Amino acid sequence: MQLTILHVSQPVDGGVARVVTDLVRGQRAAGLRVLVACPSGGRLAPAAAAAGAELLEWEARRSPGPSVAAETARLRRLVRQAAPDLVHLHSSKAGLAGRLAVRGRLPTVFQPHAWSFAAATGALATAGVRWEQYATRWSSAVLCVSEQERADGEAAGIAADYTVVPNGVDLRHYAPAERRAARLSLGLDLSEPLAVCVGRLCRQKGQDLLLAAWPTVLRRVPTARLALVGGGPDQAALQDRVRTLPEPYRVRLTGDVPDPRPWLAAADLVVLPSRWEGMALAPLEAMAMARPVLLSDVPGAREQLPLADREFALVPVEDPAALAAALAGALADPMDCARRGTAARQWVTERHDIRGVVDRVAELYQKSTSEGQSTPRVPARI
């Protein structure tokens, strides 16, 4: 019997969209019927369709608000029409509307892709925790992408059936590429040290912290360059911030690009100073292309790094001074960056192949569907 899986996702760009697309591709290859409900616009819908998914248009805003009731009702209708065997909810907004819509009537896997309360403070953070404590009753399983993400959920009192499956990458798609050719294609100098940050331009990814650190980096490595690759809500503000830097600031904002691989190939170092994550995908993609990374010590970061890199490839969260020191030190030694990049490719090959992720998610689906429909397992906490 062919299993039917319904993935529900909002957001429709960035790492979450790539995770969903990779799962669709692997699940279709395994003979499953796969549907994706998501908003129109963004990259997820066309990418998922190209990977073999049937698309269901589900209009939903990225943030919670008054629109949640209507979004939940629309999703409930889509679930009834699709009649899936299992629903896989991606990120906090889909997790909110999806669990309200399904309410445990079907096996439901919730994948936070970083807990919603990690992005909030005060009353909003408290409300986020209490919602997750309550809504876990409607999850057959909670799929975390790092042990730290799972531990943070447990510490917040979210009593769930947890499974940890670290993120993976398509090692054939993200393969090592020649740096010289990539730089020529992008019009970059062949010899200048280059740091690249790939990610949605938003507070979560911390590009503002990178710009705060950059003048200090230039004082130590005057020929260094920085590229911020991606688009997002903070693009205009970051561009204004660049203009306030002392010249020559040597920073380039590329805007949204269809394929970040040329920029990853051109880099000496890939940096991502996030404020929160579950396990960011961009560093894995960079390491798969044999590029070393520098990360803030958020959930998932330590676990995805080669053991030898964990002492000097992690910096404290929201610490521009530490970020500047680590970034300048790496860019001052391109040969060491190349050596670390080779080791990073081997590490990702052994531990983060997307084919292994697809297999482990399939095992989770089998467990969830064989145990039948989800039922409340914990008392109400409201």
**Where in the chain are the domains?**
4-168+354-370, 179-351
Quote the CATH superfamily of domain 179-351.
Glycogen Phosphorylase B; (3.40.50.2000)
What is the pLDDT, as a whole number, of residue 372?
55
288 and 264 Cβ atoms separated by less than 8 Å: no
Q: In CATH terms, are 4-168+354-370 and 179-351 the same topology?
A: yes
Six-digit token string for 292? 């070393």
| Predicted structure pTM score | 0.92
What is the pLDDT, as a whole number, of residue 264?
98
* Element (DSSP H or E) covering residue 217: helix 207-220
Task: Of 247, 252, 249, 245, give the one whose Cα is nearest residue 227.
Answer: 252
Q: Count Cβ atoms within 10 A of the Cβ of residue 193 and give its class: 0-12 exposed, 13-18 middle, 19 or more buried.
A: buried
What is the pLDDT, as a whole number, of residue 379?
37
Alpha carbons 66 and 287: distance in angstroms, whole number: 41
Which residues are CB-neighbours of 96 under 8 A, at least 6 positions away?
64, 68, 131, 135
- CATH for 4-168+354-370 is 3.40.50.2000
Task: Give buried/exposed letters for 277-308 (b at 16+ CB in 10 A, else e).
Answer: bbbbbbbbbbbbbbbbbbbbbbbbbbbbbbee
What is the pLDDT, as a whole number, of residue 65?
83
The one-digit pLDDT tens for each residue of the chain (382 residues) are 689 999 999 999 999 999 999 999 999 999 999 999 999 989 999 999 999 999 999 999 988 888 999 999 999 999 999 999 999 999 999 999 999 999 999 999 999 999 999 988 899 999 999 999 999 999 999 999 999 999 999 999 999 999 999 999 999 999 999 999 999 999 999 999 999 999 999 999 999 999 999 999 999 999 999 999 999 999 999 999 999 999 999 999 999 999 999 999 999 999 999 999 999 999 999 999 999 999 999 999 999 999 999 988 999 999 999 999 999 999 999 999 999 999 999 999 999 999 999 999 999 999 999 865 444 443 333 2
Residue indicated by tokens 């986020």: 128
165 and 361 Cβ atoms separated by less than 8 Å: yes
Helices (H), 43-201: 44-50, 68-82, 91-102, 122-135, 147-155, 179-186
What is the pLDDT, as a whole number, of residue 380?
33
Sign of CA dihedral 299, 305, 308, 314: negative
Planar angle of CA 36, 58, 274, nearest 5 degrees: 75
User: Distance from first CA to last CA of the chain, Å, rounded?
Assistant: 40
What is the pLDDT, as a whole number, of residue 297?
96
